[in-house]
Amino acid sequence: MELRGAVVVVTGASSGIGAATALELGRAGAKLVLHGRDPARLASLAGRTGGLTLPADFADTEAVSRVAAEVTERFGTVDALVNNAGIGWAGAFSEMTREQVRDLIAVNLTAPIELTRALLPALSPQGRVVFVTSIAGRTGVAGEAVYSAVKAGLDSFAESLRFELAGTGMKVGVVVPGVVDTEFFARRGRPYERRSPRPVPPERVAAAVVRAVRDGRAESYVPRWLRVPVAVRGLVPGLYRGLAARFGGS
């Protein structure tokens, strides 16, 4: 896909991976639609990229419909949708409130599915849909049971949609990051304190997202070695669970 002039929607662009992705797409000449929960940060990002800002909290499912309607009204056709918006929560599952479970599912799973459903009719014939998931959805993580579950669900949705769109010219991609150096961990309620693996910069994940949009890549891990635990889990699940129980955790 030629990025210059392409209309690209980026959700969760207020900070972290989303902001880094928007900056890289902006440098490539894309016309950006920037979603996020922080209007001030979005306005600052729009000043650097020339993007259109659509502040909204995707914990509210009606907000997803409003964003989709405004995008189609403004542009008509969308060339790429980057589903990046997400929230986290860390701690014992038994300590989660009903509201925390609801919001985690709404933002991380329901919103990207609904936004994709709403914008798919407007997607160009060679359009792209890219999902930023998580290694937690591939392997499971202690203390992040619901987060891992919704990211696994998003993975399955992306894979199924890829099969459904096969032969249409549209491409579905998934970017699977590990630990990323963003505000995510502070916001989830528990900082990242492990010595390894070391967090990667959000720009590194953003580069993978942009490649997925440009080249139509189906799957990328950041960093690449994350394929190893996923492979071990698939090939030798007993060994994986034993190692995860001993060394795992968030």
Do residues 67 and 48 touch, judged by C-beta distance below 8 A?
A: no
Sheet hosting strand 31-36, strand order edge to edge: 52-55, 31-36, 7-10, 78-83, 123-132, 171-177, 219-222
Which tokens go with 150?
Answer: 């919704």
What is d(CA 213, CA 32) in angstroms, rounded to the nearest whole number?
13
**Positions marked catalytic:** 147
DSSP 233: H
Are 32 and 104 a contacting pair, CB within 8 Å? no
- From 35, 34, 25, select the one nearest 4 (Cα to Cα): 25
Residue 92: HSE in the Cβ half-sphere, 13 Å Cα cutoff: 2
Q: Specify whether the CB–CB gap between 33 and 71 falls below 8 A.
A: yes
Alpha carbon distance 33, 50 (integer Å): 9
Name the DSSP class of 241: H
